[in-house]
Amino acid sequence: MTVPKEMPEKWARTGAPPSWSRKKPSWGTEEERRARANDREYNEKFQYASNCIKTSKYNILTFLPVNLFEQFQEVANTYFLFLLILQLIPQISSLSWFTTIVPLVLVLTITAVKDATDDYFRHKSDNQVNNRQSQVLINGILQQEQWMNVCVGDIIKLENNQFVAADLLLLSSSEPHGLCYIETAELDGETNMKVRQAIPVTSELGDISKLAKFDGEVICEPPNNKLDKFSGTLYWKENKFPLSNQNMLLRGCVLRNTEWCFGLVIFAGPDTKLMQNSGRTKFKRTSIDRLMNTLVLWIFGFLVCMGVILAIGNAIWEHEVGMRFQVYLPWDEAVDSAFFSGFLSFWSYIIILNTVVPISLYVSVEVIRLGHSYFINWDKKMFCMKKRTPAEARTTTLNEELGQVEYIFSDKTGTLTQNIMVFSKCSINGRSYGDMFDVLEHKAELGKPPQRPEPVDFSFNPLADKKFLFWDPTLLEAVKMGDPYIHEFFRLLSLCHTVMSEEKNEGELYYKAQSPDEGALVTAARNFGFVFRSRTPKTITVQEMGTAITYQLLAILDFNNIRKRMSVIVRNPEGKIRLYCKGADTILLDRLHHSTQELLNTTTDHLNEYAGEGLRTLVLAYKDLDEEYYEDWADRRLQASLAQDSWEDRLASVYEEIESDMMLLGATAIEDKLQQGVPETIALLTLANIKIWVLTGDKQETAVNIGYSCKMLTDDMSEVFVVTGHTVLEVREELRKAREKMMDPSRTVGNGFTYHEKPSSKLTSVLEAVAGEYALVINGHSLAHALEADMELEFLETACACKAVICCRVTPLQKAQVVELVKKYKKAVTLAIGDGANDVSMIKTAHIGVGISGQEGIQAVLASDYSFSQFKFLQRLLLVHGRWSYLRMCKFLCYFFYKNFAFTMVHFWFGFFCGFSAQTVYDQYFITLYNIVYTSLPVLAMGVFDQDVPEQRSMEHPKLYEPGQLNLLFNKREFFICIAQGIYTSVLMFFIPYGVFAEATRDDGTQLADYQSFAVTVATSLVIVVSVQIGLDTGYWTAINHFFIWGSVAVYFAILFAMHSNGLFDMFPNQFRFVGNAQNTLAQPAVWLTIVLTTVVCIMPVVAFRFLKLNLKPDLSDTVRYTQLVRKKQKAQHRCMRRVGRTGSRRSGYAFSHQEGFGELIMSGKNMRLSSLALSSFTTRSSSSWIESLRRKKSDSASSPSGGADKPLKG
């Protein structure tokens, strides 16, 4: 190894890296970071990023070209630009260029203004941050510098309540031992204060002169986005010192309760962990978007086919007929043959017929989605008064997909539960504490006032938390009696944690815990007499039963998701060294000394009991260490932390060694209550045929109990399968047995299905038709095998056949893998909901991500598409907003394609009567205004406001949600039906006026037929027909719908008469030549008769079809509307009856004329509001229709003055 001259020889012996040059491969990836304090010249050699951040995309010069380039990445915009270019070629264009450029420019302008506004605010935010002031040590003097001018290697001074300018290595602070306190809300959303500490060798660098001479060099990991990890080494004074995340202050943090501190800039600007985490979220598209892309391609193919047909017709016509009229109708100069005329005609018709997919379609879709998003944001029923938190649609592109969800993947803690932890029970030395007993020594249940005991009185302890409640006085009595095991138990709880204590006034302690569990445990120890008072980097002070005792803190073996435990090593005042450990039972019970076997068995029974009650459990243990062993272990720990590679694995191995052969103390049980409304929400979503999978890191017993509490699991289920295999073979066998048990009952049904052991990749499995209800519970280690490539299909097929699935002890990565597995094979819409940072990967993987703004920060919310504060709001998000959004978008698209095919196909039929000359039927201004003025607002109103049933009925009848899951309202079949209706309308729209005009005359006897009169008649018929059609399609009328529909018709006539007026002709004589044509045409009775006839013939088949459909095969929504109508009539009859005065004595309300009552129906439960089966069966009855029922109801009401209100509804 070559040792550079600048590097002291001793550094080489301590294992410095082999090269001082920055390792940077040709593709620019940084392998390690080197930063030398107070040496800008040295650091500039590496060309590190400056501290200037840039989140904006444009500047004044680049905005127009870059934004246009981005917009024309959209296929639709490119397509319309192509059409515009075609229209600029006079030989093929029969339309003016403004018919395309007006809507295109309008769309591009609106999008550009939106992008420019967004970027302006990004510029403003960047400038505000980049121009913040910071104190930088330059040439031994503190100088004010803007943040953008801070460089790697600079030393910065921070003062209380200031933001950290870059990722800094903490050098020293105003607090003892180099401590400082920070708030990380901008990084992870957690408002609890966290502590950071300078390494001892730099903590004494408190004054400017010492810091100016500091020339240490840091060699560390390259920039990355891991907020909780940092590894590096400080080389200084011929020694090296390990660095960890505890020594770092990250950009975005705020300094709190610390007068000042100094830090060395390690990462700046885009290299900081804050900016590394601000990557763009993957763009999500809905299934309707994907279908639309396919349909637009089909339409374009159809457009080309029509163009080819008309071009061939033009070539034939020119060859057979047009050749004879060259004297009167000469070809253009460029046209030299009939074939070339047909070629030009093809492009002309492509231009004319392009309105089958107008650009306004895409604009309208975005406007409708925006409106739906605002409805979610404004929904007062999804507003949490307690937290003052509204629901928020963080995206506008996924609203209709909320109406198609089939699978929900939910976190448990903080999502289904409140994540507010309460110390409930504990097991100490084989005895369980925490059960409540009444005066008769019977177990009492909390919430029953007659039996509810008084909580334990902690008045002996002046430092007790008054909010803490415990119900078993025997534990406090044992503490007061001096039981050594119980004292050691609470001593462990008061020492083994990372809680920060703040004492604002004498005796008023405030704990700042990183997790609610830790806060609950330390608070419990506090109330039972073991009060955690304060900590320094090397000591912890605890007041034990009134006596202050300071322990020397030798080491903290911190918690992580792999270790699932944390330990502290302390030396008590007598010099005795002891390790205290707390952790998950699955991890800790394997690390106990064999002598604790009997106690282990008893404690395990208690753990199972606690988990069965849905409590979160931890096991506590300790181990005595002798001085010599500890010193040897501490040296090995130091060497592991200094390792340049795999230092985390080496540390874990060292930790594993000392955390063995421990002595069991007991266990704790913490209650995390269900959120309000969770069981009802899950029941409702299950009735909507939505499958709910819970993915949690909790132990199996706790998760299963919560499953029963929230009604995911019920006693009525045929069986709950539990998969706990530790090997691939065991897991496969357990899944196979589960499938066999599910198939056994279904074989006896005789439904014709046969079971095949080999899994199917299509997964339309017979298993999903099994009789009975099943649930699957699988552990994390079993899930790891189940997710392997050769078994994932077996697992998925088994799980999808179950009504509920609970995955326990899963990692964040496994959560995402489960979601991805369902997305990959089921082709179903998935929704993931969670509240913590460990749910982010799952939320981003699912089609729709929902964040709960709860107790675990806001990382889940920031990564989500929708957010609110309580799980119960999910039912309203899906069953009301999601279903309505899907319904509205489907009705919008069906109507939009219908009206545009009806509008465009008239040109196709006209082509056969105009020599295929690409002559348009309509006036070019009508073509321009049809989609952006005459028909745009009515369809927008329907797309934004329409409803099939009110919100209350949507919640009462969750089966209404199923059409979205089955994609029934807009699919390829529905699309072709809309197209067929549009073509049918266009045929009548052209041929009825054509036939009338062939023979009709004006009032004065002159011929009625002329091109302009025909154009006005067809255009007027079209506007009226599509307006009546949208009136039929509208299910929920508002004043806005009325105004837009009838207002659009009025606007059409106003513009029509204006364009044929003398005024416009005087101003633009070349553009508006046909003065008075509209007035003269519409003054003819024959024209109005033609319009009325066309409208009736176009609309009557639709009315007849819908009438028959309602009569013969009504949908569930039709039935719900009918029952609502009946209820309204019954209420009206009740009101009428109450108005009738009565005489004589009041007698029994029962009479012999009444029919049989509802007692049996009520006892059967079939009339319950959530039961939609009765309604769904009602829709399928063929013996009688709801129309006949309504008629019979009316006749019964007419014949019996009192029977109408009392008779049950019969189909």
Tokens 């009740």, residue?
A: 1134
DSSP of 1058-1081: HHTSHHHHHH-TTT---TTHHHHH
**Closest C-alpha among 697, 696, 496, 680 to residue 584:** 697
Report the distance separating Cα 170 and Cα 182, nearest Å.
12
Q: Which two tokens stand for residue 581?
A: 């450990």
CA angle 1141, 1142, 1145 (to 5 degrees): 155
Q: Cα-Cα-Cα-Cα dihedral of 777, 781, 782, 787, to 10°?
A: 110
Q: Which of 188, 271, 379, 411 is catalytic?
A: 411
CA atoms within a 13 Å half-sphere pointing along the CA-CB vector of 272: 27
Strands 405-410 and 829-834: parallel
Taking the CA atoms of the chain, what radius of gyration do you get in angstroms?
A: 38
Looking at residue 913, what DSSP letter applies?
Answer: T
Contact 1090, 1108 (CB under 8 A): no
Q: Which two tokens stand for residue 1089?
A: 């008769």
Q: Phi-psi bin for 1034: left (phi > 0), alpha (psi -120 to 50), beta?
A: beta
Looking at residue 1170, what DSSP letter applies?
Answer: T
Contact 205, 262 (CB under 8 A): yes
Question: Which residues, other chains included, contact 1076 with Cβ-Cβ below 8 Å and sequence gap of 6+?
Answer: 1060, 1061, 1062
Q: Which helix (H) or strand (E) holds 1042?
A: helix 1039-1059
Count Cβ atoms below 10 Å from residue 1097 Cβ, excluding itself. 15
**Closest C-alpha among 907, 884, 1046 to residue 963:** 884
Report the distance separating Cα 845 and Cα 823, nearest Å.
9
Report CA-CA distances (Å) from 400 to 171, 773, 902: 53, 30, 26
Contact 265, 156 (CB under 8 A): yes
What are φ and ψ of residue 1161, in 5° steps? Answer: -65, -45
What are φ and ψ of residue 699, in 5° steps? Answer: -70, 165
Question: b vs e for 354-375, b when ≥16 Cβ sit within 10 Å of the residue's Cβ?
Answer: bbbbbbbbbbbbebbbebbbeb
Report the distance separating Cα 597 and Cα 743, nearest Å.
42
CA atoms within a 13 Å half-sphere pointing along the CA-CB vector of 898: 26
**Closest C-alpha among 1186, 1187, 1205 to residue 1196:** 1205
Report the distance separating Cα 489 and Cα 427, nearest Å.
10
| Helix, strand, coil content of the chain in percent (nearest 5) | 50, 15, 35
3-state secondary structure of 769: helix
Report the distance separating Cα 357 and Cα 306, nearest Å.
14
3-state secondary structure of 477: helix
User: Residue 561 class from Cβ within 10 Å (0-12 exposed, 13-18 middle, 19+ buried)?
Assistant: exposed
Question: Which residues, other chains included, contact 377 with Cβ-Cβ below 8 Å and sequence gap of 6+?
Answer: 390, 391, 392, 393
411 in catalytic set: yes
Residues that are catalytic: 411
